[in-house]
Structure 1
Amino acid sequence: MAVDAVLASTLWAAEQRRTVVGKDAAKSALQPPQKLATACVALDTALHGGLEYGQIHCISAEADSASKEVCHALLTSHLSTGSSAQATVIDTTNSFDVKRLHSIIVASLRRSEKGGDHASAALEALGRVRVMKAFDFIGLTESISELRDSLEAAISEQQRPMPSIAAQAPMGTIRDSDEEDDMLNVPGPDTAAAPNALPLIETGAVSDLKLHGDYLVIIDNIAHAAGPLLKSNHSQGQALLSSFMRSLFHLTRTHNIATLLINSATTYPNATATDCPSIFASCLLRPALGRSFAYLVDTHMLLHRLPLTSEDAKAAYGTQVGGTGQRQVSKRSTHYLRSTVTPHLLRPFGRKLAYAHYGSRTGPTLFFLHGFPGSRLQAAIYHPTAQHLGIRLVALDRPGIGQSSLHPGRTLVDHAEDVRCLANHLELETYGVIGVSGGGPYALASAKALAGRGLESVTVVAGMGPLGIGTTGMNVVNRVLFWALQYCPNAVRWLQTRVSAALAKLTDEQLARAITLQFTRHPLRWPKPHPQDAALFANNPALIDLLVQDSRQANAQGVHGFVDDGRLLVSDWGFRVEEIETEKVQVKLWYGSLDSNVPVRIGEEVAVRMKGRVEWRVEERTHLGLFVGCAEEILRDAVKGLM
């Protein structure tokens, strides 16, 4: 079959001649395009109101970023424009969450203060969403072809389609010769196609342009489908990808569709931060599918996390020097404050589970369970070591602490379920858990609940033990605190409220001095600070900065999270450590012989109760000294079996 080649000038002339069908038939088709809001104020502002219909947009981001939230927000915004609005989601990763979309639509309807049954209205909106599964490039191509056929079939029922552009503009048409037809080598009905041949996408006739923009197409994730082609044969894969994008461009323009592509983000070999610090200085991420892919879309956005606080930004990007306007990189061990804008996972009933990434973006994954009191920021101490070892650390805020929502009535095992859900969200097949101090019981709960379900390794660093072991050997402050949490928690709540209020009034510098005195030469502390702790603080201002920010986050939501967390540690755990199936999960215990917060006796008793089915190690370290000073040994040991 001969294919007509059309000059670009002819295409533009045809576009100019095309008019709108309906009441405004006299108006030109070149009206200002409508916008599709993303529900993110900053993003809508940058895009001057949102995404345009009739264009291809792309978001490149990591798998655990907010790209899926943007997709859900766009679908909600689009479906709310009218009852004729429809959408197609081509899911190549089998991760599209219909229930999540339904809950977002319901929440949007409630905010709009519209009456009626919001749940039924949300279901009606979901009925206008078409979900297609495509797990390779051929499936993706067939999905677009099927979408084109359905759109043109729907239009043909309403009006007679226009003749093809080639027929309209004979002056700009160049006919292919018979020789060129032979070169196409299109298989006939009796000719078997090549094993890797892609189905041809027929463009068909060009229909009238629909300016009201009632269709949205989302492809999540194009890199998942096209990436294998580029890896096996880059030149051929690039040609196929370019051909696919031209076909998608034609479909988008013809039917005035808002098309959104979700692309992966990666780091190129030998990628380094820019020499001149800026707000993007630490961004080493680049869109997948190669540098040329950016030229195949109309709008391209790269999602990257930014520092959480202004202090983090100063540490990460430098500080201004005098009045010269020049900036220099801070020398205060900036890797400690590598905390970023915190992503979160929504759990049942809208509960938010906040987490942060540290270390490498690839490699074996360890979930970090912070101490008591504390927050996800404690994992920043391990960031440089984890990055050096190629280990990915994912630190969670427990309910009511940091940025995670409160979870009344929770148990230790409930938090293990949070870990499992986050592992599924991050698409992890195997992973490990490391619990420090007050996070130790949560690590053991994970071992009990998740053994054989993807959890391969559990490491406890100076972790507390069950209630029956007691507090013998602890310093007097901890013994009084845990006794009060067990028998008079309301008194602890009252006192901690006043302590938190007092700390909130202190500047970061004042709080830093208070923390330093506590660990070095505090005159009222008993027992006195150990010289090992004093040595840690002597030449480590970044550690002090971290503890200041960690203290702020631990009290960010008040004292309820603190009290709930403490009470769980001194209550019945809901399981016995003897029940942990060590044949399915490795359990490793690290304790310090100089530790007065969680004495080594507690670790010994836990090991005895588990009948020696654990790996046991004692270092001549204090509580903080074990956590900070043995970082590399602990992380190396924790990922054994995960490599």
Structure 2
Amino acid sequence: MDVDYGIRKAARLGQTRLPDGRLLGWAEWGPVDGTPVLLCPGAATSRGLAFGGGVVDAAGVRLVSVDRPGLGTSDPAPERTLTSWATDIRHLIRERALRAPSAVGFSQGAPFALALAASGLVNAVAVVSGSDEIAHPRFTHSLNPQVRGMVDAVVADAVAAEDSFADFGDASALWELIITTSAEPDRAVYTDPVFQRAFRQAMDEAFDQGPAGYARDTILAMSPWPFDPTDITVPVDLWYGRQDTSPVHSPDLGASLTRMIPTATRHLLPTVGGSLLWTHAEDVLHTLLAHSR
């Protein structure tokens, strides 16, 4: 029997014009009058790769996936920051009437989702297989050596590092990196024919404007966060699989971040890896909705 990882075509696609004239692209699933959940996608993927397609309608969730500037259908903002991202989303929330939204941040989308919490824009967050603040001193001796070198390069010369990330960044290279660094439970998900087709399409869309958007995301993910996690006051669920072998997710699978965020709860699943957004979508969404409702 085929496994259903919740991959569905979007119910609605669009772009919202921001006050500075840029367009911010988004995709929606679920009922338009449902409980809004903002999705901050993982690295180098577009709005098109969502999750929980078989769950959102029954759960009454209006899932809104947003292309970050320079990726997919969102206009570039070369000097953007996590703080300016929150400003963009503040406008989107108002324009799209997303009343009392919560947020999900997958992988590299985690700091973007937490930035929304730090700015008071969402009432709960689910971090799923999330990137951590790997530039923080608590990870000085625990990073993968290659990742440590990337963080050091960003600290030494962020402009040169961003150029380097842009030179590396393309959909095929990143796909190979994901497959070669993933554990077997994750490769089984990512190479499923339906999932792989959607994943690769979302990566191709993310690079439609070139690699600059991906490179900027990577700089932000490897720099110190402009907010203090200890100041976050809304519920935060940190979801990790013990089999996750990604070198750019949290080095301690969210253990220290759980201690830092006063409102955090960690869910560490023993038999799954980094793909749990798609293997455990119902658990993630129902736990998130319990906070927002």
Give TM-score, length-normalised by structure 2.
0.85
Q: 1:465 aligns with which of 111, 132, 136?
A: 132
After superposition, residues 480-629 of structure 1 pair within 5 angstroms as 480-489=149-158, 490=160, 493-494=163-164, 496-497=166-167, 500=170, 503=172, 515=175, 519=179, 525=180, 529-537=182-190, 540-580=192-232, 582=233, 585-597=234-246, 598-599=249-250, 601=252, 603-610=254-261, 612-629=262-279
Q: Do the aligned partners of residues 374 and 622 (structure 1) sit closer, same or farther apart at CA in structure 2, a change above 3 Å counting?
A: farther
Cα distance, 1:616 vs. partner?
1.9
Q: Do the aligned partners of residues 425 and 621 (structure 1) sit closer, same or farther apart at CA in structure 2, a change above 3 Å counting?
A: farther
Cα distance, 1:488 vs. partner?
5.0
Cα distance, 1:412 vs. partner?
0.8
More deviation, 394-403/456-465: 456-465
2:10 matched to which residue of 1?
339
Q: Are the counterparts in 2 of residues 474 and 599 from structure 1 also a CA contact under 8 Å?
A: no
Q: Are the counterparts in 2 of residues 432 and 638 from structure 1 also a CA contact under 8 Å?
A: yes
Q: Secondary structure at the match of 1:373?
A: coil
1:289-322 per-position Cα deviation (integer Å, ceiling 9, x unaligned)? xxxxxxxxxxxxxxxxxxxxxxxxxxxxxxxxxx
2:290 matched to which residue of 1?
640
Cα distance, 1:515 vs. partner?
4.5
Aligned-partner Cα distance in 2 for 1:517–1:570: 17
1:155-183 per-position Cα deviation (integer Å, ceiling 9, x unaligned)? xxxxxxxxxxxxxxxxxxxxxxxxxxxxx
Aligned-partner Cα distance in 2 for 1:352–1:593: 38
After superposition, residues 296-445 of structure 1 pair within 5 angstroms as 336-339=7-10, 342-379=13-50, 381-445=51-115
Aligned-partner Cα distance in 1 for 2:184–2:118: 37
After superposition, residues 26-105 of structure 1 pair within 5 angstroms as none
1:122-179 per-position Cα deviation (integer Å, ceiling 9, x unaligned)? xxxxxxxxxxxxxxxxxxxxxxxxxxxxxxxxxxxxxxxxxxxxxxxxxxxxxxxxxx
Q: Do the aligned partners of residues 340 and 403 (structure 1) sit closer, same or farther apart at CA in structure 2, a change above 3 Å counting?
A: farther
Kindly, what percent of the aligned residue pairs are identical? 26
1:631 matched to which residue of 2?
281
Cα distance, 1:403 vs. partner?
0.9
1:241-278 per-position Cα deviation (integer Å, ceiling 9, x unaligned)? xxxxxxxxxxxxxxxxxxxxxxxxxxxxxxxxxxxxxx
Aligned-partner Cα distance in 1 for 2:271–2:145: 19
Q: 2:119 aligns with which of 449, 474, 480?
A: 449
Q: Are the counterparts in 2 of residues 355 and 397 from structure 1 also a CA contact under 8 Å?
A: yes
Aligned-partner Cα distance in 1 for 2:193–2:230: 42
Q: Secondary structure at the match of 1:618?
A: strand
Q: Are the counterparts in 2 of residues 413 and 445 from structure 1 also a CA contact under 8 Å?
A: yes
Q: Do the aligned partners of residues 410 and 599 (structure 1) sit closer, same or farther apart at CA in structure 2, a change above 3 Å counting?
A: closer
Aligned-partner Cα distance in 1 for 2:157–2:78: 18
Look up the equivalent residue of 1:460 and give its one-letter code.
V
Aligned-partner Cα distance in 1 for 2:35–2:81: 28
Aligned-partner Cα distance in 2 for 1:550–1:485: 27
Q: Are the counterparts in 2 of residues 485 and 566 from structure 1 also a CA contact under 8 Å?
A: no
1:494-522 per-position Cα deviation (integer Å, ceiling 9, x unaligned)? 5644653x84xxxxxxx9xx948963xxx
Look up the equivalent residue of 1:360 and give its one-letter code.
P
Stretches of structure 2 lacking an aligned partner (at least 5 in a row):
none
Give TM-score, length-normalised by structure 1.
0.41
Cα distance, 1:603 vs. partner?
1.2
Cα distance, 1:473 vs. partner?
4.9
Aligned-partner Cα distance in 2 for 1:386–1:341: 14
Alpha-carbon RMSD across the aligned residues, in angstroms, is 3.0
